[in-house]
């Protein structure tokens, strides 16, 4: 298992979330993470994710986005995998609608770790078969299993 696998837990996976916009998906994800990780504050997460998007879209293309930010109070990186029930406009460089997101939160001082994790996420999500398996998952258990299994099913 790679370091990306260690970022996900069954509680930090959202399957077929209903969201109509970039802001709404970030808001719902921040709410969910704050419920699961009680030391984190929902408004801070949402504001930090939104602020990062203002610097430039975190959409990678091909329907994938990797919203990410630094979060004070966080001691270890954490991730939340999200699939959407309907693809949304995410200002992607290729114009494609986004339906697959990996939200990455890192401690304020995790500079190299942040870059390494982003690179690993980008590498995994550049694999069309991997993304297809995630999109086909209809429940949390299947989605998590597909996410942490690098090999084609």
Q: Is residue 18 part of a domain?
A: yes
Phi-psi map region of 61: left, alpha, beta (phi>0 left; psi -120 to 50 alpha): left
Among this protein's residues, is 68 annotated catalytic? yes
| Cα gap 84→21, rounded to integer Å | 11
Q: Is the pLDDT score of 15 beyond 80?
A: yes
Q: Is the pLDDT score of 34 beyond 70?
A: yes
Residue 150 is predicted with a pLDDT of 60
Question: Which candidate in 12, 22, 32, 68 is catalytic?
Answer: 68
| Element housing 17 (H / E) | strand 13-17
Q: Is residue 128 part of a domain?
A: yes
Q: Is residue 102 part of a domain?
A: yes
Domain span at residue 62 reads 3-146
DSSP per-residue letters across 27-41: HHHHHHHHHHSTTS-
The pTM of this model reads: 0.93
- Band of pLDDT at residue 36, cut at 50, 70 and 90: very high
- Band of pLDDT at residue 152, cut at 50, 70 and 90: very low
What average pLDDT score do residues 126-133 get? 96
Among candidate residues 131, 71, 82, 143, the one with its CA nearest the CA of residue 107 = 71
Number of domains the chain contains: 1
pLDDT in tens, 50-97: 999 999 999 999 999 999 999 998 999 999 999 999 999 999 999 999
């Amino acid at each position: 298992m790679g370091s990306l696998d260690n970022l996900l837990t069954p509680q930090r996976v959202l399957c077929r979330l209903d969201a109509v916009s970039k802001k709404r998906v970030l808001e719902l994800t921040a709410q969910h993470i704050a419920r699961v990780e009680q030391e984190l504050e929902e408004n801070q997460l949402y504001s930090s994710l939104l602020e990062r998007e203002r610097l430039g879209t975190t959409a990678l293309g091909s329907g994938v986005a990797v919203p990410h930010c630094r979060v004070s109070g966080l001691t270890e990186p954490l991730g939340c995998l999200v699939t959407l029930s309907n693809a949304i406009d995410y200002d992607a460089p290729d114009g494609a609608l986004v339906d697959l997101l990996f939200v990455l939160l890192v401690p304020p001082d995790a500079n190299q770790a942040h870059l390494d994790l982003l690179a690993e996420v980008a590498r995994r999500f550049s694999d069309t078969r991997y993304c297809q398996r995630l999109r086909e998952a209809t429940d949390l258990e299947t989605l998590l299993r597909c996410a942490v299994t690098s090999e084609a099913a």
